[in-house]
Amino acid sequence: MCKGLYESAAFVVGNAVDGTTDPVQLRVGVFQGCPLSPQLFNTAISPLLFALQRLPDTGVQLSSDDRLGASAYADDLKIFSGTEGGIKRQHALVTDFLRWTGMAANPGKCCTMSVQRDHRGVLKAEDLQLQLDGSPIPALSMSASYTYLGIGDGFDHVRRRVELAPTLKLLKDDATALMQSGLAPWQVAKAVKTYLYPRVEYALRHLRPFQQQLAAFDRHLARGLRHLLRLPATATAEWLYAPTSRGGLGLLPLTELHAALQVAHGWQILHAKDPAIRRIARVQLRQIADARHRLDAHAWEGRDEELCTMLLNSQLGTSPDAPPNRRNGDIGSLWIDVQRHLRTLELKLETAPACTETGAAAATLQLRVPHHEKWLEHSTVLRHVKLHIKHKHWRRWAEMRDQGKTARAHGGTGSAFLTRPRGLWESDYRFAVAARLNQLDTH
């Protein structure tokens, strides 16, 4: 089938001046964007992953049932093990596989991370001296990092927290360029939603940047939009973040976008289709509870779901079977961030009751938001958590004595012009925005 798809395949290159070239025969590879490409990657890499999984005495024990030693995204492969011997056996298997298939890896784009304790118990980086085709693979020091799938990987957690700074600087520069581009205000808002925010969503889902970094961009964007709309500095930013369905511009501060992404990501991990991911997530939560509370192991036996729910809802410390430690050596993590965000957003994980109509059993660790009566699903959790945050901004806007006087009157057809002006002059658009914030100059 694959051979038939590309039999006599060719392409041409052309421009408006010279026309097109003669057909160029495609002799190797696939066309850019071809749906066959990811399938070929999976077909090529899957045998290696299965072989790594079967390799004895390798990997890291992440739960009682799960000992993982490899992860891959297309041809980006990561192998890991708890011992030096284990990682060397895995590396030998990879090199044998490459030799057998005729594939090759670029040592310059590879990296090793090995950390061991010396006789005093101090952590130190080690060079395992691994090679590919006679070329050494670079080894990371304790202060260095390696970018894997766009995210820095390394031993220095502080350095990882600031690695988003260059991206945010570029984002701020691009936001400034949009403000100065001559585009209409609604076009700038759409460009921010469509082109700027998606560039950092993946990183925000996996990194834990300092809040002041994100807040600096939020202030810059709000200041620029006020200037673009000819609003005074005293004009509230709550309108910028209220949902378009209630008369706002529908943006989100990066600080709160980060919170929504982490909550949604954590929830999706807890309810992943892969049972191994679900088990590992619950083991991690149990480890956090053990580090931060004095758990009565006998009392919590068989109550893992309840323990996870109470921990993430910040209620575990109220249980007599889990008094909090006065001090703990636990580190920050996604789960601690999710716990904090749920508390800040006034959301709680609950148990969805069994449904007699569909025959569905009761489900734990479920999430629901006030504006949506149904329990959230994988495809809806992020959208509704973000909308929940926007509704909170609308309520703060509506509570303002002056600028919020008319907030409850906006929405629906009366606010369609905010995103689809349909021939509205920019001056009229600015007038309408200033009017709904009671910021018109009547002198």
The one-letter code for the residue type at 427 is S
For 215, how many CA atoms within 13 A lie in the half-sphere containing its CB? 3
Q: What percent of the chain has pLDDT over 70?
A: 97
Mean pLDDT, the chain, rounded, equals 90
Task: Phi first, then psi: give them for residue 406, nearest 5 degrees.
Answer: -105, 10
**b/e map 403-418, b = 16+ CB within 10 Å:** bbeebeebbeeebebb
Dihedral in degrees, nearest 10, Cα atoms 36, 42, 47, 49? 170
pLDDT bucket at 2, cuts 50 / 70 / 90 = low
pLDDT surpassing 90 at residue 222: yes
At 375-419, the pLDDT tens digits run 999 999 999 999 999 999 999 999 999 999 888 888 888 888 888
- What is the DSSP secondary-structure string of 238-299? HHHHS-GGGTS-----HHHHHHHHHHHHHHHHHT-SSHHHHHHHHHHHHHHHHHHB---TTT
At 309-359, the pLDDT tens digits run 999 999 999 999 999 998 877 778 899 999 999 999 999 999 999 887 777
pLDDT bucket at 156, cuts 50 / 70 / 90 = low
Distance CA 358, CA 90 (A): 47
pLDDT surpassing 90 at residue 49: yes
pLDDT surpassing 80 at residue 424: yes
Instruction: Write down the pLDDT at residue 3.
Output: 63
pLDDT surpassing 80 at residue 44: yes
Q: Give the DSSP H/E element, type plus range, for residue 26.
A: none
Instruction: Write down the pLDDT at residue 219.
Output: 96
pLDDT bucket at 157, cuts 50 / 70 / 90 = low
At 58-85, the pLDDT tens digits run 999 999 999 999 998 888 899 999 999 9
Residues 354, 359, 365, 369, CA torsion sign: negative
At 164-191, the pLDDT tens digits run 888 899 999 999 999 999 999 999 999 9
Instruction: Write down the pLDDT at residue 398.
Output: 94
Distance CA 312, CA 391 (A): 23
Task: Phi first, then psi: give them for residue 38, nearest 5 degrees.
Answer: -65, -30
pLDDT bucket at 38, cuts 50 / 70 / 90 = confident
pLDDT surpassing 60 at residue 1: no
pLDDT surpassing 60 at residue 204: yes
Residue that wins the pLDDT comparison between 2 and 357: 357
Structure-block tokens of residue 284: 């991690």
105 in Cβ contact with 131 (< 8 Å): no
Residue with tokens 């991206």: 167
Instruction: Write down the pLDDT at residue 162.
Output: 66
- Domain ranges within the chain, ordered by starting residue: 38-157, 159-257+388-437
Instruction: Write down the pLDDT at residue 160.
Output: 64
Record the pTM: 0.88
Instruction: Write down the pLDDT at residue 400.
Output: 93
Residue 386: exposed, middle, or buried by beta-carbon count in 10 A (0-12, 13-18, 19+)?
buried
406 in Cβ contact with 246 (< 8 Å): no
Give which of 250, 258, 195 is closest to 225, Cα–Cα: 250
At 271-290, the pLDDT tens digits run 999 999 999 999 999 999 99
